[in-house]
Amino acid sequence: MATWIKKALDIVVALLLLAMGCWLVYASWFDQATLESVLDGVKNSPFFSMAVGLLLILSFLLRMVVGSRSARKETYIDFQSDDGNVGISIQAIQDFVERIGTEFAAVKSIESKLVRDRENLDIVVGVRVLTGNKIPELSQVLQQRIRESVRESLGLEGIGKITVQVKEIIGAPEKAAKHDDNLTE
């Protein structure tokens, strides 16, 4: 289910619970007859009591689901500049690295992950490469391009290892296809 649907349901259930709570407080303090008629209705009507029970269960479950996915704390890489402290979010760095990968025609898709230790920032990129490319050369050029771009554009000097993981080679091998054609003639 989409996140916005969960949030909307959570808001609706919270408002229903708030209204029900306000009404019960009002009825308890100012209108005893209404409160007693509602309590009698809950006792005597299985549908009404089931609806109230389901509303309470639903509110609990929604709070558990939405509450367990608390807003992910944005983490930043901080460094000193001449004029003060600069922080770049890890997500922004990952997006930047992934855009660099799209500059290469041989790279079909790229995913990045940052591993941070005390002194260095290691970058791990998972790539899907089109067939017919020399993977060692592509990996080396990609590593150099990422290192240079991150240093120049983002100002991050503490780049450690850049690991390229080839997750998939996409496309049919050209030489094997030509070799198979020669065998069938």
Domain ranges of the chain: 3-68, 86-175
What would the mean pLDDT of 144-164 be, rounded to a whole number? Answer: 92
Ramachandran class of 18: left when φ > 0, alpha when ψ lies in -120 to 50, beta otherwise: alpha
71-103: per-residue pLDDT in tens? 455 688 887 777 888 889 899 999 999 999 999
CA terminus-to-terminus distance, the chain:
55
According to DSSP, residue 102 is labeled T
95-153: per-residue pLDDT in tens? 999 999 999 999 999 999 999 887 888 999 999 999 999 999 999 999 999 999 999 99
What is the phi/psi pair of residue 175, to 5°? -65, -40
Give the integer Cα–Cα distance in Å for 36 and 57: 23
Tell me the two tokens of residue 7.
């949030």
3-state secondary structure of 114: strand
With residue 84 as reference, give the H or E element that holds it: strand 84-89
According to DSSP, residue 143 is labeled H
User: What pLDDT shows up at residue 134?
Assistant: 93
Determine if the pTM surpasses 0.85: no
**142, exposed or middle or buried, with CB in 10 Å at 0-12, 13-18, 19+?**
buried
CB 149 within 8 A of CB 103: no
| Mean pLDDT, rounded, of the chain | 81
Domain 86-175 CATH (choose: 3.90.230.10, 3.30.70.1350, 3.40.50.300, 3.30.460.80):
3.30.70.1350
Tell me the two tokens of residue 36.
């007693």
Number of neighbouring beta carbons within 10 Å of residue 92:
14
At residue 178, does pLDDT exceed 70?
A: no
According to DSSP, residue 92 is labeled H
Strands 76-81 and 107-116: unpaired
User: What pLDDT shows up at residue 182?
Assistant: 46
